[in-house]
Amino acid sequence: MSETQEYAPNIITAEEMDPKFKYQLSKKHGAEKLMLCFQCGTCTADCPISRFNEFYRPRKIARMVQLGLKDRLLSDNALWLCSTCFTCVDHCPQGVEIAGIVRALRNLTVKEKAVMPLVSKELASNILKGGYSYEFPESRHKRREMQGLPPLPKPNLEDLKKIFEITQSLEILEKAKTFEKV
């Protein structure tokens, strides 16, 4: 790749920008303060993921939200690299909860693009089947008994299913396609 190609500016066209997007997203819990970001870059500088991955940049995400680059944001799987360590949240001089913005963007991707990581779908399916995010074979329960541990508390699957239904999570999960790796 030639130097000009490599450093070619990523041109943003006016058509790509959805001016209402920032207002739409700032209604989501945790993303309320996104307009306060003044691009100092503390979040990216202190992000442990950004140190080892060249595509995950919290400051860039915040700016893209402000510019309304919704489609670009929701089709970028790098969103799923945030490890929710909350260092960005604690270090932001403007009190912007970057991790909350990333969560809101993930939620929106799942809802509008109908796509999520395979692991999330598997965990959800386990939770619906047994209340726990892993499936416990009978041998696990026996092993607990042998180890002198009390039986695991039982799930209330009826209640749990209702919670998934009321929050529209069942249909979200049904529709969603999956991807394995970022």
Partner 1 sequence: MSELKYLVFLGCVIPYRLSSYEISARKVLKKLGVELVEMPEFNCCGFPMDPINHDLMLSMAARNLCLAERENLDILTLCNGCFSILNETNKVLAEDKALRERINGHLKEIGMQFKGTAKVKHLVHVLAEDVGFEKIKDAVNKPLTNLSVAQHSGCHIVRPAKYVDHGDDPENPTMLKNLIRLTGAECLDYMDETECCGNPIIGVNEEVPFQMAREKLGHIKAVKAQALITVCPFCHMMYDLNQPRIERTFNEEFGMPVLHYTQLLGLAMGLAPEELALNELRVKATELLSQIQE
Binding site for partner 1 (CB under 8 A): 28-30, 48-49, 52-53, 77, 80-87, 89-90, 97, 99, 103-104, 106-107, 110-111, 116-120, 123-124, 127, 131-134, 136, 140, 143-144, 147-150, 152-156, 159-160, 162-164, 166-169, 172-173, 180-182
Both tokens assigned to 171: 């249909």
* Tokens 């100092």, residue located: 40
Contact yes or no for 58/81 (Cβ under 8 A) = no
**Least distance CB 8 / partner 1 (angstroms):** 27
Q: Output 73 or 110, the one with its CB closest to partner 1.
A: 110
**Least distance CB 162 / partner 1 (angstroms):** 5
Q: Output 17 or 164, the one with its CB closest to partner 1.
A: 164
Q: Output 51 or 63, the one with its CB closest to partner 1.
A: 51
Q: Output 9 or 148, the one with its CB closest to partner 1.
A: 148
**Least distance CB 130 / partner 1 (angstroms):** 9
Neighbours of 174 (CB within 10 A): 9
**Least distance CB 117 / partner 1 (angstroms):** 5
**Secondary structure of 32-95 in HEC code, one letter for each residue:** CCHHHCCCCCHHHHHCHHHHHCCCCCHHHHHHHHHHCCHHHHHCCHHHHHCCCCCHHHHHCCCC
Interatomic CA distance for residues 20 and 17, integer angstroms = 9
Contact yes or no for 100/163 (Cβ under 8 A) = no
Half-sphere exposure of 44 (CA within 13 A, CB side): 15
Q: Output 67 or 91, the one with its CB closest to partner 1.
A: 91
**Least distance CB 7 / partner 1 (angstroms):** 25
